[in-house]
């Protein structure tokens, strides 16, 4: 909505009497611009959390903690011990910084370090990409086997909620819950079926 407002704002005249009463004042306009920038950062993190190549360390220690640095008011929702976190002890155990003794115990799981080729610089980076890049250049963390395959628990759920809100529009508001659930199930699990399996089911 804010993006749409700023796209249209340059074409709207404050002298037009029909819309002058509903146009934001210059002070409110400045506040809306700041709010748009903040929301674009939140949107960037939300979209990054839905990606398949994200692991728990990047989600918690990088993205969510980076968002909390600029938006402390989200602490009750995004902190490691927030009510939405399914298993706070497990999550903090996976992403914590290891002591010397813990590093020694986990030595058998340590992956051999490989020299990595520099990644090409993207032309435009979102807030989430900037956080991940900054954190990766600041610390050269040791990698341990199996930790990279632990996905953040919310990425599949985030994708499901996003597709549900896209699916259930006004024109489909009369769908039965069973039909909506079936459509969402097929959409989320589209890797497991194709036209051939559909024809077999018929």
pLDDT, greater one: 16 or 28: 28
Answer whether 178's CB lies under 8 Å from 139's CB: no
Answer yes or no: is pLDDT of 115 > 70. Answer: no
In this prediction, residue 130 carries a pLDDT of 81
How many percent of the chain have pLDDT more than 90? 1
| pTM check: above 0.75 | no
Q: Give the span between the Cα atoms of 95 and 91, in whole angstroms.
A: 6
Q: Give the span between the Cα atoms of 154 and 136, in whole angstroms.
A: 22
Q: How far apart are the first and last CA of the chain?
A: 43
Answer yes or no: is pLDDT of 166 > 80. Answer: no
In sign, the C-alpha dihedral spanning 184, 185, 189, 193 is negative
Which of 122, 150, 118, 96 has the alpha carbon at shortest distance from 44? 122
Lookup result for tokens 């002591």? 99
pLDDT, greater one: 61 or 142: 61
Tell me the residue ranges of DSSP E strands in the chain.
none
In this prediction, residue 122 carries a pLDDT of 55
Q: Give the span between the Cα atoms of 54 and 109, in whole angstroms.
A: 20
């Amino acid at each position: 909505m804010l993006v749409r407002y700023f796209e249209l704002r340059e074409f709207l005249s404050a002298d037009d009497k029909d819309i002058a009463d509903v146009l934001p004042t210059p002070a409110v306009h400045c506040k809306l611009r700041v709010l748009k920038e903040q929301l674009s950062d939140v949107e960037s993190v939300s979209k990054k959390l839905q990606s398949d190549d994200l692991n728990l360390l990047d989600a918690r220690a990088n993205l969510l903690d980076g968002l909390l640095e600029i938006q402390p008011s989200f602490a009750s929702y995004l902190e490691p011990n927030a009510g939405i976190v399914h298993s706070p002890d497990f999550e903090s155990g996976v992403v914590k910084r290891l002591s010397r003794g813990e590093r020694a115990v986990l030595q058998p799981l340590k992956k051999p370090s490989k020299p990595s080729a520099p990644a090409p610089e993207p032309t435009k980076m979102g807030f989430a990409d900037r956080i991940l890049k900054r954190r990766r250049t600041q610390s050269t963390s040791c990698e341990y086997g199996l930790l990279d395959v632990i996905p953040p628990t919310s990425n599949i759920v985030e994708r499901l909620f996003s597709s549900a809100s896209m699916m259930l529009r006004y024109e489909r508001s009369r769908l039965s819950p069973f039909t909506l659930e079936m459509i969402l199930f097929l959409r989320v699990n589209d890797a497991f079926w194709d036209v051939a399996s559909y024809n077999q089911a018929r």
